[in-house]
Amino acid sequence: MFIADRENNLIRVFSKNGQEKHHFGNQGNGQLCRPIGIAVDSQNIIVSDTDQHRIQVFGKDGTFVRQFGSFGNGLGQFRYPNGIALVDDHILVADTDNHRIQVFRKDGKLVRMFGSKGNGDGQLNMPIGVETDGKHIFVADRDNHRIQIFGRDGTFILKFGSQGNGDGQFQFPRIVAVDGNHIIVADSGNHRIQIFE
């Protein structure tokens, strides 16, 4: 199990029985400053190094492999990247303060991006969480208080949710996860988890 320990600038690695095996991080090159998103494939740990506006890739033992991105709003740049997810050979990044999702190859080359600031279909306002089921991309569109679903190419499919505290409403949803036919949302402002089919 891998946990982003944001306040201590570390990634912590635990065994299945909950014992910490090791950790890595801190500030600087190959190090971390307030990491949030984490994704793991068969070889690497990919981390959104949020306050350093970049993505870092580490081996499973915590050795630095590569990094990509810098502060800005240009192609391949970030302003506070948060959630990340993996699909095939691509890394999806919620580029929160740029109000978009960027898609990269694992070597850091930009493939595409989608989204722009707004509240229309397919527009985003502080997207913070991103997930995929392999066919669709799910985005926690935090400041629009909704979840949006896109095709793998970034085409808008549908949205659900609105601001509030009723069933199916959200206050600043932060994390979205997919498990089979279920969409699981961390509805942070309402201090609850909601599960949808």
Domain boundaries, the chain: 1-68, 79-197
pTM metric for this prediction: 0.92
Gap between the terminal Cα atoms of the chain:
26
| Tens of pLDDT, residues 17-51 | 999 998 888 766 678 988 999 999 999 999 999 99
pLDDT: which is higher, 62 or 146: 146
Q: How far apart, in whole angstroms, are the C-alpha atoms of residue 1 and residue 41?
A: 12
Backbone angles phi, psi at 181, to 5 degrees: -90, 10
Q: How far apart, in whole angstroms, are the C-alpha atoms of residue 99 and residue 76?
A: 13
When pLDDT is averaged across residues 119-129 and rounded to a whole number, the result is: 98
pLDDT of residue 9: 85
CATH architecture of 1-68: Beta Barrel (2.40)
Quote the longest CA-to-CA distance of the chain: 45
Query: Is residue 7 scored above 90 in pLDDT?
Result: no
Q: What's the whole-number average pLDDT of the chain? A: 95
Residue owning tokens 């190090």 = 31
pLDDT of residue 1: 87
Cross-strand pairs, 130: 139
CATH architecture of 79-197: 6 Propeller (2.120)
Q: Same CATH fold, 79-197 and 1-68?
A: no
Contact 92, 84 (CB under 8 A): yes
